[in-house]
Structure 1
Amino acid sequence: MSLTGKKGLVVGIANEHSIAYGCAKAFRNAGADLAITYLNAKAEPYVCPLAEELKSPIIVPCDVRDPGQLEAVFARIEKEWGKLDFLLHSIAFAPKDDLHSRVVDCSQAGFSLAMDVSCHSFIRMAHLAEPLMKDGGCLLTVTFYGSEKVVDEYNLMGPVKAALESSVRYMAAELGKKNIRVHALSPGPLKTRAASGIDRFDELLDRTRERMPDHQLVSIDDVGNVAAFLADDNAKALTGNLEYIDGGYHILG
């Protein structure tokens, strides 16, 4: 597996525990050059040192809620690289009150915001990446098993991730003729900053570990290894997939 000569964008690193960072390490170890984004000035001190370790030539802010910021990221990539071979979308957000409430109680504004940041932003990235992927490419996003089965405390993010997975399938069909592949990565629960917002998340981790065939939680490096394979040309026959990286958790029903 080699990503030497390929250019990739990684969106969603918050710190060294992020799924996006595990993927970025795997991409870089395989030889790719990476553009790395950070959310805002508060996140910059945590993300920039990691991006510098990865020798990323492009390190830029990106809050998809801020008009123009996402477009500026792709403009920078077009100016400096003139192309993009793959990207990883690993961001999700829901207002705390809506995330911790029942789905039937979530607000319209909270649902819309969660859908915009967690799902539609991936569609926007695909739209901006398409003209830069002249020789084909790979679009990756991150989902969770709570999209298809009810997982206690996952609440609002279940329907949102279900929409994200459906978007993956439709975009894979639409972009296939341009040799652009689209996948969703579905890791088991991991202790990340984003996951810490889920109510009683430690209990979810314990329940998951108990049910897994080998009783071992997956790591961000496990996710990164799968992501790097999918971005490689050896995975050119795969698209539109939901790739479980959960130690078999999803097979148990």
Structure 2
Amino acid sequence: MANQPQIPLLKGKKALVVGIANEHSIAYGCAKAFRELEADLAITYLNEKAKPYVEPLAQALQAPIVMPLDVSQPGELEALFAAITAQWGRLDILVHSIAFAPKADLQGGLLNCSAAGFAQAMDISCHSFIRMARLAAPLMTEGGTMFAMTYHGATEVAPNYNVMGPVKAALESACRYLAYELGRNGIRVHAISPGPLKTRAASGLKDFDLLLNEAASRAPLGELVDIMDVGFTCAFLATRYARRLTGSTVYVDGGVNIMA
């Protein structure tokens, strides 16, 4: 049977995807899935060092807006949304797929995490999503969908996840409260919880290869997920077929989360 063409369920929708570092990034899987359904993309890169890795991907996805964004730098987030407002005048989809903690605080255990490191991890990994939502909501005049990436270590102890566990727990809670506050405007908010993936961000976790192997052996489906599994889940949730779903933490992990 011949492959059927993709139905352009997101045709004309405007999607901002934050967090692409390279072709292995979860955010890239989201951008690629949105583009397959014919959404228009705005893509960001962290800095000039990251630009050569991200810009070719953005060009391949025909993204008309490609801009730098370091959420820790004053004014960069506002400049991005000013450009989106000027070019599109609206926004339908927002993907927040960024997280950071200083290496010493990430690998040193929660008990030894510094106040400064905890605050920086919370600001970049959690509060920046709230700041983005604040700027995105006025542009979602016909409703929209917002996504933030979390991990199962937010609700269960994942050895070596350390400070990111409490930070991701805060992010999941923020998603629920934003879903409540923005629901009256037709804006839906989801936390997406992928299983372990070989991304650049994950490489900073101690003994991450062991975590990958364990997840693959415990998953009811018997294999790890990939970035397109995450992307297609977000694409579905952004369509009209998921119009009454909001505020949930959606696991894309082959079922690992149900295992004791």
Find 2:221's aligned residue among 198, 201, 214. 214
* Partner in structure 2 of residue 39 of structure 1: 46
Q: Any runs of at least 4 consecutive aligned residues in structure 1 with deviations exceeding 2 A, and if so which? A: none
What amino acid is the match of 2:55?
Answer: C
Q: Is residue 95 of structure 1 aligned with residue 86 of structure 2?
A: no
Greater Cα offset, 46-55 or 225-234: 225-234
For each residue in 1:168-192, what CA deviation from the matched residue of structure 2 results, as whole angstroms up to 9, or x when unmatched? 0000000000000000110000000
CA shift digits 1:150-204 (9 cap, x unpaired): 0111111000000000000000000000000000110000000000011111111
Aligned partner of 2:3 in structure 1 is none
Distance 1:99 1:50 in 2: 29
Q: CA deviation digits over 1:16-37, x for unaligned, max 9?
A: 0000000100000001000000
**What TM-score, normalized to structure 1?**
0.99
Give the whole-Å Cα distance in 1 for the aligned partners of 2:36 and 2:159: 36
Partner of 1:9: 16
Matching residue within 134, 150, 154 for 1:147: 154
User: Paired residues, what number?
Assistant: 253
Name 2:4's counterpart in structure 1: none
Give the structure 2 partner of residue 245 of structure 1.
252
Give the whole-Å Cα distance in 2 for the aligned partners of 1:210 and 1:86: 34
RMSD: 0.7
SS in 1 for 2:111: helix
- Structure 1 residue 176 and structure 2 residue 183: aligned? yes
- Structure 1 CA distance, aligned partners of 2:150 and 2:73? 23
2:179 & 2:200 partners in 1: Cα distance? 29
CA distance in 2, matches of 1:230, 1:178: 17
The answer for unaligned runs of 5 or more in structure 2 is: 1-6
Q: Deviations over 1:104-123 (max 9, x none)?
A: 11000000000000000000
1:193 aligns with 2:203: no
Give 3-state SS (helix, strand or coil) of 2:94's partner. strand
Alignment partners' CA distance in 2, 1:129 and 1:214: 36
Per the normalisation by structure 2, the TM-score is 0.96
Structure 1 segment 107-122 matched on structure 2, within 5 A: 107-122=114-129
Provide the C-alpha distance between the structure 1 equivalents of 2:251 and 2:215, rounded to a whole number of angstroms: 14
Counterpart CA distance in 1 for 2:255 and 2:151 is 13
